[in-house]
């Protein structure tokens, strides 16, 4: 997955993150505490894994939940 960050909505920076690598992002939401993304790791289509990640700053991401055998929708 790829997340882009901007402080001014004019200049954008790709956020480097090993946690997001290979994740097909489905949705993102802003919360009072930061951001949440949902996506699917599907390198093997027979063994998908839905992941929920959070970030307080949009730069550093932490996986907080996974569901084996499920596709994010």
Residue 67 CA to residue 57 CA, distance in Å, equals 24
> What is the pLDDT at residue 47?
83
Reply yes or no on whether the pLDDT at 50 is more than 80: yes
- What is the pLDDT averaged over residues 7-14? 92
- What is the pLDDT averaged over residues 24-48? 89
Could you tell me which residues come within 8 angstroms of residue 4 by beta carbon, excluding any fewer than 6 positions away?
12, 13, 14, 15
């Amino acid at each position: 997955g790829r997340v882009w960050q901007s402080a001014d909505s004019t200049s954008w920076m790709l956020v480097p993150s090993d946690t997001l690598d290979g994740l097909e992002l489905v949705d993102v939401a802003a919360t009072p505490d930061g951001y949440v993304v949902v996506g699917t790791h599907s390198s093997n289509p027979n063994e998908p894994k839905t992941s929920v990640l959070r970030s307080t700053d949009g730069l550093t991401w932490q996986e907080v939940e996974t569901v084996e055998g499920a596709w994010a929708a």
